């Protein structure tokens, strides 16, 4: 039995197939929407920067990295610069911090060629003034 009385249409009696519909309706489905994918973009993410802080038990002065105990505790860095590249440029290009470059300078016997200004601080052209 089909009940249409709630829609304002007369009820159909079960078994009475001769009754014609009161009205007809045409339903049209909406068109399929067009989906456009976004244009891919190239995003440059800079490499992380190494931030070195004073180790535990060492005063956080501006030159904590110059203390002999800290320098000798650092792992040895085998420096292999390309032709025309200074050891400082090589260290900087590979992401070593200034403190690590200072330790490498000390471990290599404080070569004067590492200090462009001959003031006792290495790698100033690569890392800037650090004192």
Q: Is the pLDDT of residue 110 over 90?
A: no
Per-domain residue ranges for the chain?
64-127
Q: How far apart are CA 100 and CA 87, in angstroms?
A: 12
- For the stretch 95-108, pLDDT in tens is 999 989 999 998 99
**Higher pLDDT pick, 115 / 47:** 115
The percentage of residues in the chain with a pLDDT greater than 90, rounded to a whole number, is: 14
Predicted pLDDT at 60: 47
Question: To the nearest 5 percent, what fractions of the chain are helix, strand and coil?
Answer: 25, 0, 75
Task: Residue 54: name the closest of 44, 72, 67 by CA.
Answer: 67
> Rounded CA gap, 77 and 105, in Å?
10
Q: Is the pLDDT of residue 42 over 90?
A: no
Report how far residue 50's alpha carbon sits from residue 14's, in angstroms, rounded to the nearest whole number: 84
DSSP letters spanning 29-62: PPPPPP--PPPP-----PPPPP---PPTTS---T
3's CB contacts (< 8 A; 6+ apart) are: 11
Specify the pLDDT at position 41.
85
Mean residue pLDDT across the chain: 75
67-92 pLDDT tens trace: 788 888 888 889 988 899 999 999 99
């Amino acid at each position: 039995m089909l009940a249409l009385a709630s829609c304002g249409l007369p009820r159909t009696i079960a078994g009475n197939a001769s009754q014609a519909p009161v009205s007809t309706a045409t339903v049209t489905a909406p068109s399929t929407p067009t989906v456009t994918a976004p244009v891919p973009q190239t995003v440059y993410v800079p490499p992380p920067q190494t931030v070195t802080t004073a180790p535990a038990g060492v005063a956080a002065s501006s030159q904590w990295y110059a203390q002999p105990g800290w320098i000798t505790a650092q792992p040895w860095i085998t420096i292999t610069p390309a032709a025309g590249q200074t050891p400082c440029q090589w260290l900087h290009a590979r992401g070593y911090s200034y403190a690590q470059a200072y330790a490498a300078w000390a471990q290599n016997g404080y070569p004067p060629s590492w200090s462009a200004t001959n003031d006792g601080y290495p790698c100033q052209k690569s890392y800037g003034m650090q004192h």
